[in-house]
């Protein structure tokens, strides 16, 4: 009986360790990047385009998502989440320079938005408050009329 009790104890201990390990691993795993909802007050057209872009993004139709999100940015150019969503799609299709610009624009338009500022999607592109360029600068003027985001 002692042996049976010890085996049962070890089995229970093994199961407990597996559960603890699974929980620990799931918390350290990065959250998947998902498009954001637009803030209230933006044009309904921008909201509709964002919904269509989100559906395309979630279906891994990234070129379609990029097009929808681009149109949403045109309809709501002052929306940080619109720029963020566009940047996500640009990044997935490999246009990292334009994605960097859009991530920076999103952060600048949404200074208090922790989701945007703390996003792992934004971190490879540096601190938006910094004037340092982390990737090759753009060859043409940005929306602010500066070259490469520098003043």
Long-range contacts formed by 126-130: CB under 8 A, 24+ apart: 128/103, 128/104
Q: Quick check: is 115 in a domain?
A: yes
pLDDT by residue (tens digit) across 73-96?
999 999 999 999 999 999 999 999
Per residue in 34-65, pLDDT (tens digit) is 999 999 999 999 999 999 999 999 999 999 99
Residue 102's domain spans which residues?
44-125
- In whole angstroms, how large is the CA radius of gyration of the chain? 22
* Domain at 98, CATH number: 1.25.40.10
pLDDT above 70 (res 131): no
Q: How far is CA 28 from CA 15, 25, 40, 93, in A?
A: 20, 5, 32, 26
Asked if residue 99 is part of any domain, the answer here is yes
Whether 90 is in a domain gets the answer yes
* pLDDT tens digits for range 64-77: 999 999 999 999 99
Query: What's the total number of domains in the chain?
Result: 1
């Amino acid at each position: 009986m002692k042996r049976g009790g010890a085996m049962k104890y070890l089995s229970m201990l093994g199961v407990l360790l597996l559960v603890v390990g699974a929980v620990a691993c799931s918390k350290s795993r990065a959250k998947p990047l998902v498009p954001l909802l637009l803030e209230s007050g933006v044009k309904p057209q921008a909201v509709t385009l964002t919904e269509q872009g989100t559906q395309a993004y979630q279906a891994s139709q990234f070129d379609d998502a990029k097009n929808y999100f681009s149109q949403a940015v045109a309809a709501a150019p002052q929306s940080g989440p619109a720029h963020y969503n566009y940047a996500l799609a640009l990044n997935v299709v490999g246009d990292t320079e334009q994605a960097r610009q859009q991530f920076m624009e999103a952060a600048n338009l949404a200074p208090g938005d922790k989701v945007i500022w703390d996003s792992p999607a934004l971190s490879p592109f540096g601190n938006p408050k910094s004037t340092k360029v982390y990737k090759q600068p753009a060859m043409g003027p940005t929306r602010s009329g500066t070259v490469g985001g520098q003043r």
